Structure 1
């Protein structure tokens, strides 16, 4: 570890926090152009967050601390992943805890928090969305473990920084059969974990087809902004992690002796 890796680690957290709405906006813009529409612009998610932050906080009757704390838990777990995952640097101060099982556990913790919040509302749509979300999570989380574990065997470690460093030094392992299958599996996982088509549609207004949106229907104001911001950060972190696991560039800063 050195000062450069520490700065890079802090920079990747800041980049995830500020860049997440831009990633969401870019994906919406690409989809709009593919559908023949102009789109609202890449900065629209930032405008939506600002609008929600100005609104009054509304808490449904009968909800408990679970509902109130869920957005903060989702955001905190995502930021922890952004802090420990090798997105811009390996050998960061938190690299020793950047274990595969820690990252999967943090992802699952955020999912469970939001699922419990959906159940806590006591509404039919919240419970339905929570049931669907936990079913998807039961399929997704083991897939992440198996896919990244396939990459960890040649590297000899379940540490994500070690896996990225090994891929950087041995690019032939990435294009092996196991590497290709793991890549395909993780692409599907990212789609499912972030609630994108065809698993879920974040732009849907039909309650019967909602998954993620059904759990957050009762949120409004700053808490809704935090949920949407955390969702964008999770998408950004998973895409960056997928890219660095399979195509780590020379820009990866290493702080190992």
Structure 2
């Protein structure tokens, strides 16, 4: 366990907790400007969270411990991924947890727990949102696994840190057919996993079209704040993984003495820039996209899976 890994393991979750709501605020502000509105400002998500944390927690009658523990489980899974994945340092603190299958399992576990909480309320909208969410995750998770597995074939390891280090050592991998196919597939995965257009509309107020929001309608106060904070962190995590798996330059690799904090600080600035650019691009694309009908979403996700499968096939032929 190196000093760089320890510092990165502390800095990564702190950066994601503090910056994820600002990322959501930036994306909302970009959309507002493009739609001709003033917008509430980049810091509005943090003001909303502060207000929610100051309110009283309300638990619907008849719910079990699943409803009460779901926000904590969702937050915990995202925090573990934020600590283990190579966002700021190429050798993360929890290297063994940075394996592809462990990271995907943790993210899926948080989503499934929230879906069970939506079912636990016994409401029509909670059950509908949970059913839709599990349908989407059943189609998205294989694509996520296969797309990143395509990158791991040439490396010989499913550890995300090894994949990032291999890309740093061989920049030509970025423009290979394997990386390009996997990148397109992962973009669709990010859109679906984070509930963005055209799969879901995060700003909708129509219950019949909700997916993620329908599951959390019964939450209020600190519980709702945890769900919203964890959701924004999931968006930052997926965008951070997308950035570092394909454009890992700027991540801290080797440092010594007083250079360690400076290296991590520089990596944090580069990560903020890369994730910010991806977030703005996603927000701009949402302005020109309409929400797909629910029965058309599997077609989109099936197409992304085929791209990921093509990336795996290409990785064996072009290895």
CA deviation after TM superposition for structure 1 residue 254, in Å: 4.5
Are the aligned partners of 1:168 and 1:249 in contact in 2 as well (CA < 8 Å)? yes
- Confirm or deny that 1:182 pairs with 2:188: no
Residue in 1 that maps onto 2:199: 199
Residue segments in structure 2 that go unaligned for 5+ positions in a row = 256-319
5 Å-filtered alignment, 1:116-195, equals: 116-195=116-195
5 Å-filtered alignment, 1:33-52, equals: 33-52=33-52
Question: Does 5-14 or 238-247 show the bigger shift?
Answer: 5-14
Measured at CA, do residues 4 and 76 of structure 1 come closer, stay the same or move farther in structure 2, by a change above 3 Å?
same
Residue segments in structure 1 that go unaligned for 5+ positions in a row = none
Q: Alignment RMSD, CA only?
A: 1.0
What secondary structure sits across from 1:62 in the alignment? coil
Are the aligned partners of 2:8 and 2:93 in contact in 1 as well (CA < 8 Å)? no
Q: How far apart, CA to CA, are the structure 2 residues paired with 1:16 and 1:250?
A: 17
Residue in 2 that maps onto 1:15: 15
What secondary structure sits across from 1:236 in the alignment? helix
TM-score normalised according to structure 1 size: 0.97
Structure 1 residue ranges (4+ consecutive) displaced by more than 6 angstroms after TM superposition = none
Q: How far apart, CA to CA, are the structure 1 residues paired with 2:97 and 2:4?
A: 19
5 Å-filtered alignment, 1:87-106, equals: 87-106=87-106
List per-residue Cα deviations over 1:135-193 (Å, max 9, x = no partner): 00001100000000000011110000000000111111121111101000101101110
Aligned residues: 255
List per-residue Cα deviations over 1:32-61 (Å, max 9, x = no partner): 111111110000000000111111111101
Where relative contact order (Cα < 8 A, 6+ residues apart) is larger, the structure is: 1
What secondary structure sits across from 1:241 in the alignment? helix
Q: How far apart, CA to CA, are the structure 1 residues paired with 2:64 and 2:250?
A: 48
Q: How far apart, CA to CA, are the structure 2 residues paired with 1:97 and 1:217?
A: 32
List per-residue Cα deviations over 1:54-90 (Å, max 9, x = no partner): 1111110110000000000000000000011001112
Residue in 1 that maps onto 2:292: none
Residue in 2 that maps onto 1:229: 229
